[in-house]
Structures are given as structure tokens and as C-alpha cells.
Amino acid sequence: MDPYYNGSTTIRLQPQDSMRDIGCGDFSSGPIAIFNNSLLAVTQTNGHLVLENHDAANPLAFSLKFWNSDLNILPSGNMNDGPIKDIQDISSVQMNTKDTPDDPTAAPPWNLTAYHDAALTYSFTGYRNSTVSPQALRFNYTQCATRSLAVYNGTIVGAQSSCSPNTSINSVPRVSGRFSNGSASLEIQGFYQGKSNQGSLVEGNVTINFNGTIDEIRSDRLVSNTHDSTPIWQSTLGYEKDLTGQRPPSQQGVGKTLEVGWSQLLGILALMALYRV
């Protein structure tokens, strides 16, 4: 059960220490990258994770994906190669290409807590698990003179990871989000360490913001939970409709229950690129 939100993602960086190449201006205090092609999914926790590791399972899962507007996200072959690899992904779960996780007992990338703010509005907060690999992040800093200078690749690291004595990291990466049947927002804060293709280094606090509106015809709708703060969605609403938002004749008036696996997120992402509303 998944609601999907179309929107934009903005990356802001405040360098504490950097080595800049000739031809690349100083980093400004404003946005360094804006991705107008962004998709946020907020979903129920995978049932296998709940069964195998109930106490450690998050109350929900999120997956933020963003990509450059000129990227053709539909690969000619399968989903494991091609341009779709250029889509950036920040997720609270390992988004496998199969329904059953490889290791249901493994620690999640992000530890989350959910809150029930209003009748049909939920929020969540969390932090990056220090036992998993750092979150990857890359961006094109467009004020640089050439593309080779502008492309930075790096990670959002934990408090123990700074390689420079001139920098200070106060905490592990943190996330907060809020979502409803109309819109969603997400914010991730952490410390970024990156390097350009030409070897220019940059470190500093980074903030990633997503803001978007729901894609109603392909999303399950939230319903009230009177027991706790775990979100509840109307089952399979989005998957009973076709790509035009219409219910197939064979399913009209029928409530069909489906198990939704993590692998469907990539498929939905590709399809939404063709049928955006």
C-alpha cells in the first residue's frame, strides 16, 4: 500500500572546508542543486520485516528518488542496468527487486518513529543507523565552469567520519517528514563529504528538502488509525486502477486484495515518467 507524491528536491550545502579548482566559484549559501523530477513514496513496512524482526521494524517506510530532467529513466533492457542507475535514492529500507528481503533481521538504514498529528495527517522522525554504509549523494554544482569540475560524488556521514581537523560534525544524519492525502514534505540533515571528478574536495552541513503533492489516481489513501501512530491506508486503491486512473471493467465494484512488494516502486517510477498528471 503506497501513496506517491510528485514534487521537487532541493540540496543546500554550507561548506566548512573545501579545496576548489580554478574555474569553479565559491559555494554560495543558497541552493546548489534543484531536482524538479522527484518522487516520494511512503509505505507500510514490509510484512517479512515485521514477522522476522518485529521489535526493530519501523512503523513505516519511505523512499525518495530524484533525477535530472534530461535523464531517460526507461532502460532498454532490465531494471538492473541502464540509465535508471542515475536515479538517486534515499530510502529507509533496502529496496530489493523481490518481495522478500535478503536479510529481514538486518538493521534498517534509517530508524524511524511515527506520529499521528491529525485525523489524516501523519509525521515521522528518525536518524541514520550508524552500523550501515553512509548515505550516498551526488550533485552538479552548476556555477562551476565545466561539467568535470561541477559533478560532486560523496556521502552523508556520521559524527565519527570527518577526515579534516577543520570540520565539526554534531550528530548523525537525521530525517523528518509529514504526509497526508494531499501533500508531503521531507527534510534530511547531515554532514556531507564529497569530491569532484577533478579531485576538488568539499565538506559541510547539507540539507535535502522534498515538497510535493499526491498523485491521487495511483495512490492508496490514508484512513484514520484510532489505536496508535502507525499509518493505515485503504488497501489496493491505487492498484485497482489503470494508468489513466480508470478501473478496469473486470474490477469495477470489486475490492481486490493484493500483496504489494518493494519491487513495484521501480516499475511505478518508470511508468509515472510516461503518464505524469
More confident residue, 64 or 232: 64
pLDDT tens digits along 128-180: 988 888 898 988 765 665 666 677 889 998 654 445 555 555 568 999 999 99
Q: What is the pLDDT of residue 30?
A: 60
Of all helices (H) and strands (E), which one includes residue 90? strand 88-91
pLDDT at 277: 37
The pLDDT, as a whole number, for residue 8 is 93
Q: Is residue 186 over pLDDT 90?
A: yes
What is the structure's pLDDT at 106?
A: 74
Interval 224-232 mean pLDDT: 81
How many whole angstroms separate alpha carbon 179 and alpha carbon 182? Answer: 8
Q: 192 phi and psi, to 5 degrees?
A: -105, 135
User: DSSP letters along 20-57, please?
Assistant: PPTTBPPPPSSEEEEEEEEEEEEEPPPHHHHHHSGGG-
Phi first, then psi: what are they for 271, rounded to 5°? -65, -35
Place 223 in a pLDDT band, splitting at 50, 70 and 90. confident
What is the residue range of 57's domain? 4-274
What is the DSSP track for 217-255? GGSPPEE--SSSS--EE-TTTGGGS-TTSPPPGGGTT--
Q: Which pTM value belongs to this model?
A: 0.75
Which has the higher per-residue pLDDT, 103 or 167? 103
| Average pLDDT value for residue range 8-33 | 68
What integer best gives the mean pLDDT of the chain?
A: 72
Mean pLDDT, range 223-227, rounded to an integer: 81
Number of domains in the chain: 1
pLDDT at residue 28, rounded to an integer: 60
Residue 72: pLDDT above 70? no
